[in-house]
Structure 1
Amino acid sequence: MIQKKICLLGATGVGKTSLVKQYVEGIFSEKYLTSIGVKIDKKQVETNNQTVQLMIWDIEGIDRYCGFQAKYLRGASAFIIVTDHTRSQSLVEGLDILKMVKEVADIPGVLAVNKVDLPASWHWSETELAEIKQGFVQFFNTSAKTGDGVEPMFTHIANLLTA
């Protein structure tokens, strides 16, 4: 069995922890708890005729005041930048995080646009979003609440890393 470290990054409150809980445990909670530091979850999956254990690092929300802890990316095989489509600023912050990640790591990244079960308040045009998506190997609309897009996102990453 191989292990692959995946880092979830994003602004505070975008739903990183909820995505992990939905994927690993199949549950969603309305309670909001701010993550401090990093929480590591594991999930074993079968992909490309082999077993892979995903080590999912749920990293505390990043904003311009607390900065970016590049040390969390050491040994990572991929990353997910999570944004909240009810908050346009979360995409701006996600793009800032992407720039910081690219400065310290050469690993594939996925963009997760979370909370798609709620009405969107983004002001991005389809053209702008298409340009933004080019910085990532894949893009997923997700809902930690309903589970939409969560399993396919992690499955895509697992397949990518074991190909």
Structure 2
Amino acid sequence: MLQKKICMVGAFATGKTSLVGRFVYSIFSEKYQTTVGVKIDKKTINIQGKDLNLILWDLYGEDEFQKLRMSYLRGSSGYLLVVDGTRKNTLEKAFNLQIKVEDSIGKVPFILVLNKWDLTDEWEIADVEINEVLQRGWTVIKTSAKTGLGVEEIFQTLAQKILEA
């Protein structure tokens, strides 16, 4: 069976842990849980008739006090760059993280995940900014860890990109 390491990368409190929880265990908790270091989960999915074992590395959110440990990224086949749509600054943080990740492990498949789509009334990221990201050639998927919207899709799409890379 193929095994692929995927890292969850983004600013703190963007929903990385919640996305993994929704995908792996079909659960969502309103209670905020800070990830300390890294949390690793696994889930097997089927892509094009092949079983693929995803090893999900949920990395703690980067903020001014913590710098992402690039050593956690080693061996990654791809990553999810998670943004909180209700906090525009997390998009800027994602742009910076993407450069750092690419400098560290090279060009591997990734998806920009616009999380918290269930809170559209609080949304701070405009369509024009999303279109700018799409013009970079990035794959962008809107998700809600709370409702489950797009969660399966981000992991399936990334797995597909990894197999094609």
Give the letter for the 2:72 counterpart.
Answer: Y
Structure 1 residue aligned with 2:124 = 122
Contact 1:37 1:59 in 2 (8 A): yes
Gaps of 5+ in 1: none
- TM-score, structure 1 as length reference: 0.93
TM-score (norm 2): 0.92
Partner of 1:82: 82
Using a 3 Å threshold, how does the CA distance of structure 1 residues 133 and 69 change in structure 2: closer, same or farther?
A: farther
Q: CA deviation at 1:138?
A: 1.4
User: Where do 1:1-163 residues align within 5 Å?
Assistant: 1-105=1-105, 106-118=107-119, 119-126=121-128, 128-135=129-136, 137-163=138-164
Number of residue-to-residue matches in the alignment: 162
How far apart are the structure 2 equivalents of 1:121 and 1:19? 18
What is the RMSD computed on CA atoms of the aligned residues?
1.4
Distance 1:60 1:34 in 2: 7
List gaps (5 residues or longer) in structure 2. none
C-alpha distance in structure 1 between counterparts of 2:125 and 2:108, whole Å:
29
Instruction: Indicate conservation of the 8 Å contact 1:108/1:136, yes or no.
Output: no
Report if the CA contact (8 A) 1:44-1:51 is conserved.
yes
Q: Which runs of 4+ in 1 moved over 3 A?
A: 133-137
SS of aligned partner of 2:31: coil
- Decide which structure has greater helix share: 2
* Cα shift at 1:130: 2.1
Separation in 2, partners of 1:13, 1:143: 13
Q: Is the partner of 1:117 in helix, strand or coil?
A: helix
CA shift, 1:137, in A, is 4.2
Q: 1:7 aligns to what SS in structure 2?
A: strand
Deviation at 1:41, TM superposition (A): 0.5
Q: Distance in 1 between matches of 2:41 and 2:136?
A: 26
Residues 70, 104 of structure 1: 8 Å contact kept: yes
Q: In 2, Cα distance between the equivalents of 1:162 and 1:23?
A: 19
Percent identical:
40
